[in-house]
Amino acid sequence: LTCGLVKTRGKSIIFPVTEVIPKNEYFDYGAKYKNESDEVTPAHISDRLSDRIQNISSEIYDRLKCRGIVRIDYILNNDKLYFLEVNTVPGMSEASIIPQQAAAMGLNMTDIFSLVIEDAIQRG
């Protein structure tokens, strides 16, 4: 499971959670780079779990003083959620997860990048 988000002065965008389903037993090189996984946005999880992941992601973003667009990854195992990593340079190609999450919200990447750039200019 993964949740992208961006926070700028006065605006937070927390994207819908994506579920990555590898076609093999593990999420390996083939799953990541050879289209051997399915990415489902929004994830087929309960609203409660989705809200929890989004809230935890927002808190991690703040505590680690992240800036710009990040993606936070989790593993769900036996109904237990484990924080895995913060991806501070997530992929931005059409096939990447962040643009898929933005599209699921009806947003386009141009608008999101504009917010990030404006925020950087304001911070100096």
Q: What is the pLDDT of residues 9-60, one digit of tens each?
A: 778 899 999 999 988 887 788 777 788 889 999 999 999 999 999 999 999 9
Q: Provide the residue ranges of all domains of the chain, joining segments of one domain with +.
A: 2-123
CATH number of 2-123: 3.30.470.20
**pLDDT value for 124:** 79
CA 59 to each of CA 38, 39, 84: distance values in angstroms, whole numbers, following the listed order = 27, 24, 15
Peptide bond into 90 cis (omega under 30): no
**pLDDT value for 81:** 97
Q: Model's pTM, two decimal places? A: 0.90
- Cite the beta strand spans of 55-102 per DSSP E: 68-77, 80-87
Q: How large is the average pLDDT for residues 74-89?
A: 96
